[in-house]
Amino acid sequence: MTKHAVCLIFLICCKTLFAADQPLTPLPLEEVQTAALRAFPGLLSTEQRKQIAAGEYQSAEGGFDTVLKSQNRWSLAGIYENQMNDVIIEQPTSLWGTSFFGGWRRGMGDYPVYEGKSQTAEDGEVRLGMNIPLWRNRDIDNRRARLQQAELGKLIANHDYDQALLDIRRMASLRYWDWVMAGQRLKVAEHLLKIAEQRDAGIRERAAAGDIADFEALDNQRAILERRERRVAAIRLLEQSAIQLSLYWRDADGQPQLPDMALLPQNFPPQEPALDINMENALSTAQSQRPELKRLQLQKQQTETELALQNNQKAPGVDLSVMGAKDVGYSSKSINRDELYVGLNVDIPLQQRVAGGRAQVASANLQRLKLDRQLLEDRINNEIKDSLSAINAARQRVQLSQQQWQAAQQLEQGEQSRFDLGESTLLFVNLREIANGDAAMMAAEAQANLFKAHADYEAALGSPIDLKDQSMTD
């Protein structure tokens, strides 16, 4: 038993050591985007707007709920002792604002002459009827208006969610490339420090032998201290970028994950995303796809519904009511058993201040939405133009910075050779090394800007995001 345990421990240790020797796979951008679209709290918060809109729609549907009413009255003292029981069911509909009702009432006991209609047969009276708006509330009423607006509200919530998807994917991309850029900065800083530290012993020996001046050794010590400071600053920037990236790179439980330095890619991708630059197509695509424009259009429809409702409310209320009633059962008194009533109810708001004020608000909101849409269209066009301009400029910067970096490397190598031959000083060597490091940083910055410009362009287009595809990628 002890031998088996020892063998098991040995196998586990070997497996652990073998796993430790395996290099970690660099963190890809797609994994960060997928994690952000799956578990970013801001996106989950926006998703709740869809539930809110669904609840508001259900509430608007409640305007057409069937209503059961009951009235009961007992006269316990007085000349006329009687009782009245009345039950009615009302059903509003969207058919021209018509509402139907049906009921049963039973009036027993003694009633004065002027309340004779309250008397019914022993089994009561059943009745059916309807109210039909002829002017106000016919084409539109408050119930139908709220239902239409709530239905549009659900679509608005969907577009808000789509907009959140675009924003989060864009921000996740920007933070990712900032993190990769910070890794390149640290890489350059460590390379410069390593060069200065590796030559320090040799410079000290040459200074001791009188080959070079003593201050050259002191200058190299200064360069080491300076480059250590740069390395500390680069580490801080990388840590800051990693913390910001962890806001979007989340685990299966939705908790932020702090990316380790070992997950950094060695370099930027050699190829940028494929892009067919066509300004006119891009502008038309963005105008048709951006969720903000779709949301404004739906808000406009909501406001138009409100304006139509308030204009309708200015009209006189003319309602036709029809009701039929029939008494059921025995009655010792003379009772009109079969009845048919037709009524015409008129309601005229003289000042019309309520509907007039609300119509003014709706009209002003329509004008506001029109101006907002104009501004948004101009802003979207500018975003497309700006992102394409940024891509073109970044492409040129990548080429020029690569050429500059190659020249800086050659100059550094040449200056180092001259220093080894005693034809130069450490000051010029340091300057060439710093220039080479700066050129490397400019090349990395140009690449980062190129990929960030692509992220901005993708968001500016407003291309829909399919979460199913994202989950399959994950």
Query: Taking residues 164-175, what's their average pLDDT?
Result: 95
pLDDT, residue 111, reads 75
Strands of 231-354 (E only): list them: 317-327, 338-347
Best CA proximity match to 452, nearest among 404, 397, 400, 405:
397
Domains and CATH numbers, the chain: 25-59+143-305+357-473 (1.20.1600.10), 64-136+316-353 (no CATH)
Please give the model's pTM, rounded to 2 decimal places. Answer: 0.82
Contact residues for 49 (Cβ-Cβ < 8 A; gap 6+): 157, 160, 161
Q: Which residues pair with 321 in a beta bridge?
A: 131, 343
Backbone angles phi, psi at 255, to 5 degrees: -90, 145
Q: Which helix (H) or strand (E) holds 64?
A: none
pLDDT at residue 443 tops 50: yes
CA distance 446 to 176: 15
Model pLDDT for residues 252-267, shown as the tens digit of each residue:
998 999 999 999 999 9
- Are 324 and 128 within 8 A, CB to CB? yes
Work out the burial of residue 297: count CB atoms within 10 Å of its CB; fewer than 13 is exposed, 13-18 middle, 19 or more buried: middle
Return the percentage of the chain with pLDDT > 70, whole number: 92
Tokens of 188: 């350059």
**Model confidence at 6: pLDDT above 50:** no
More confident residue, 372 or 219: 372
What's residue 76's pLDDT? 79
* Neighbouring C-beta atoms of residue 443, cutoff 10 Å: 24
Q: What angle do CA 448, 450, 452 make, to 5 degrees?
A: 70
Which residue, 84, 81, 96, 183, is CA-closest to 135?
96
Residues facing residue 127 across a β-bridge: 103, 325
* Confidence bin at 1 (pLDDT 50/70/90): very low
Torsion angle defined by CA atoms of residues 46, 472, 179 and 459, in that order, rounded to the nearest 10 degrees: -50
Distance CA(1)–CA(7), nearest Å, equals 10
% of the chain exceeding 90 in pLDDT: 62
Sorting pLDDT into bands at 50, 70 and 90, what band is 13?
A: very low
What are the backbone dihedrals phi and psi of residue 408, each rounded to the nearest 5 degrees, phi first? -65, -40
Residue predicted with more confidence, 373 or 21: 373
Rounded Cα distance, 446 and 394, in Å: 6
| Mean pLDDT value across residues 73-90 | 85
334 — pLDDT class (breaks 50, 70, 90): low
Helix (H, G, I), strand (E, B) or coil at 248: coil
Least confident of 59-63, 179-183, 420-424: 420-424
Q: b/e for 141-154, b at 16 or more Cβ within 10 A? A: bebbbbbbbbbbbb
Q: What would the two tokens of residue 71 be?
A: 């009235």
Query: Sorting pLDDT into bands at 50, 70 and 90, what band is 468?
Result: low
Q: Is the confidence at residue 415, as pLDDT, over 50?
A: yes
Please answer whether residues 298 and 152 qualify as being in contact, where contact means their C-beta atoms are separated by less than 8 angstroms.
yes
Residue 255 CA, chain-centre distance (Å), reads: 19
Q: In angstroms, rounded to a whole number, what is the distance separating the alpha carbons of residues 335 and 332?
A: 9
Q: Which residue has the tokens 């910075």?
A: 401
List pLDDT tens digits, range 287-331: 999 999 999 999 999 999 999 999 999 999 999 999 999 888 877
Answer with the residue of higher pLDDT: 415 or 186: 186
- Return d(Cα 191, Cα 474) in angstroms, integer: 35
Q: 298, 101 in Cβ contact below 8 A?
A: no
C-alpha to C-alpha distance for 395 and 443, rounded to whole angstroms: 11
Element (H, E) at 336: none
Q: How far apart are the C-alpha atoms of 49 and 109, rounded to whole Å?
A: 57
CA–CA gap between residue 46 and residue 69 (Å, rounded): 40
| Greatest mean pLDDT among 13-17, 142-146, 426-430 | 142-146
| pLDDT higher than threshold 70 for residue 10 | no
Helix (H/G/I), strand (E/B), else coil: 40: coil
Task: Tell me the two tokens of residue 408.
Answer: 């800086």
Which residues fall within 8 angstroms of residue 102, CB to CB, at 6 or more apart? 88, 89, 126, 127, 128, 129
pLDDT in tens, 348-365: 888 889 999 999 999 999
Distance between CA atoms of 223 and 236, rounded to whole angstroms?
20
Q: Give the H/E segment covering residue 274.
A: none
Average pLDDT over residues 246-256: 93
* pLDDT for residue 26 is more than 50: yes
> CA-to-CA distance for 448 and 241, rounded, in angstroms?
13
Distance CA 25, CA 300 (A): 50
What mean pLDDT do residues 1-28 have? 53
Quick check: 104 pLDDT over 80? Answer: yes
pLDDT, the chain, mean: 88
